[in-house]
Amino acid sequence: MTLSEELVWRGFVNQSTFKDIKSLDGKKWTFYHGYDASADSQAVGNLAAMMADKVFMRHGCTAIILAGGATSLIGDPGGKDSERILQSEATIANNVSKAELQFRIVFSDQKFEIVNNLSWTKNLKVLDFLRDVGKHFSMTPLVQRDYIAKRLGEGGSGISYTEFSYTILQGMDYLHLYDKYKCNLQLGGSDQWGNCLSGVDLVRKARGAEVQALTLPLVIDKSTGKKFGKSEAGAIWLDANKTSVYQFYQFWLNTTDESVEDYLKVFTELDRPVIEKLMKEFNADKASRSAQKTLAYETTKIVHGKERADSVMRITESLFGAGRFSDLNAKDIDLLKAELVSVDVKPDEQLAKVLVRAQLASSNSEALRFIASNAVTVNDEKVDASNEYPFHKGSNLLKRGKNQFAIVDI
């Protein structure tokens, strides 16, 4: 597939300055894509944008990944009904450093440049900014932009000069990157269209050059209608300290049948024949959840590496019947302990008491009923009243019903 064909097929095309998206083909673009640092981790919505960047990289384009150390100090007013709370310089600097680490992981198989817009704005003088940049912007189109007009209109919360200036700062980023790298394409989310145009217009007015912009659709969870964003409740983060590798894997594994094909295109690098074959098999047997399993594994591998993806896949299989607990290694068990209740048990402690301590039963009598009804499993083996002490030395998987688990250490 050509670059434009792959972008369209994967669903990465929204608005564009190109008259025909096929104009992307046959040229090695130098593009930049900016990421804000309003949180100490990027989220899965940002991962979608990174995967779009990787499409361009695979097609031989030069990538500049911008960490918004300066613009994050201001806060993008787009999509917000009220003024953002400004964060400290130290907080933003920490967020930028963590973002850069995540970029290096996701883009590890590609060549790219990381820049921070604070490096060319921190010593900028106000008069220079107003004369060299501000003079190229007309107030009329700026105040007519949807997010600004909404804030200024009747019932709006108003907008400060600080947030109003955000789009000018972002436009200046494009001008700087054009001057230094001959950058000629900006990528951004669909909510960044106005800011992208600020850069296109500024480069044209200040340098007499034609540059382009392309925005990507925001990825929407079809089951909730909400976007994948940092500010959304239940955000899924790329940092394993905020969303564990296991939780990350489970998130994708629980993707609805309606969304899984779209997510395979966006969040994996599997090519069209592979995805089409997979979806054909999945549609013939949806109970297998083969598409969700592939999505979970491939996406986890990109963000957390193959070793962790393999580990969490083995863990999931051992918990839900497709694998055995005895097949897990020490690292797998350590990862699992971080997710489940873990209890230390004396060699002579009764199973019913262990169930209560492991929070799998509310009382000894309830625990005995679970045992009598064959609802308890230890290390993949059903336990009944005749087998009161089924544990072995070391770590054991205690299971009640289909999806209640704990780790028991002897």
Instruction: Read off the pLDDT of each residue in 231-249 and give the average, rounded to a whole number.
Output: 88
pLDDT at 41: 96
**Dist CA 149 CA 159 (whole Å):** 10
State the pairing for strand pair 395-400/404-409. Answer: antiparallel
pLDDT at 115 (0 to 100): 97
Q: 37-51, 302-316, 343-357: which range is least confident on average?
A: 343-357
**Mean of the pLDDT values across residues 10-35?**
96
pLDDT, average across residues 261-269: 97
The answer to whether 16 and 194 are in contact (CB under 8 A) is no
Strands 220-221 and 404-409: unpaired
CA distance 312 to 385: 33
Sign for the CA dihedral angle at 187, 192, 193, 196 comes to negative
pLDDT score recorded for residue 380: 87
Q: What is the pLDDT of residues 198-217, one digit of tens each?
A: 999 999 999 999 999 999 99
Res. 134: pLDDT tops 80: yes
What is the identity of the amino acid at 343? V
Q: Given this model, what pLDDT does residue 182 score?
A: 98
**Contact by Cβ (8 Å): 9, 145:** no
What mean pLDDT do residues 223-251 have?
Answer: 83
Q: How confident is residue 259, by pLDDT bands cut at 50, 70 and 90?
A: very high
Q: What's the rounded mean pLDDT across residues 299-328?
A: 93
pLDDT surpassing 70 at residue 132: yes
Q: Using one digit for the tens of pLDDT, what is the confidence trace for 56-109? A: 999 999 999 999 999 898 877 765 665 667 889 999 999 999 999 999 999 998
pLDDT, average across residues 183-193? 95
Higher-scoring residue by pLDDT: 85, 268: 268
Q: Indicate the pairing of strand 220-221 with strand 212-216.
A: unpaired
pLDDT surpasses 60 at 229: no
- Please state, in angstroms and rounded to a whole number, the distance separating the CA atoms of residues 410 and 395: 7
A 10 A CB-CB count for 63 gives 21
CB atoms within 10 A of CB 388: 11
Say yes or no to pLDDT of 165 above 90. no
Per-residue pLDDT averaged across 16-42, rounded?
Answer: 95
Q: What is the pLDDT of residue 87?
A: 87
Tokens encoding 58:
């695979």
Determine the pLDDT at residue 335. 93
Q: What is the C-alpha to C-alpha distance for residues 329 and 246, in angstroms, rounded to an integer?
A: 15
Min mean pLDDT across 55-69, 127-141, 214-228 is at 214-228
**Predicted TM-score (pTM) above 0.85:** yes
| Mean pLDDT of all residues in 303-322 | 93
Per-chain mean pLDDT for the chain? 91
* Cα Rg, the chain, nearest whole Å: 26
What is the rounded distance in angstroms from the CA atom of residue 366 to the CA atom of residue 381? Answer: 20
Instruction: Write out pLDDT tens, residues 378-396.
Output: 998 888 777 667 888 999 9
Is the per-residue pLDDT at 233 higher than 60? Answer: no
The answer, yes or no, to whether residue 291 has pLDDT greater than 90, is: yes
User: Can you give the pLDDT at residue 231?
Assistant: 53
Tens-place pLDDT, residues 345-363:
988 888 999 999 999 999 9
> What pLDDT was estimated at residue 83?
65
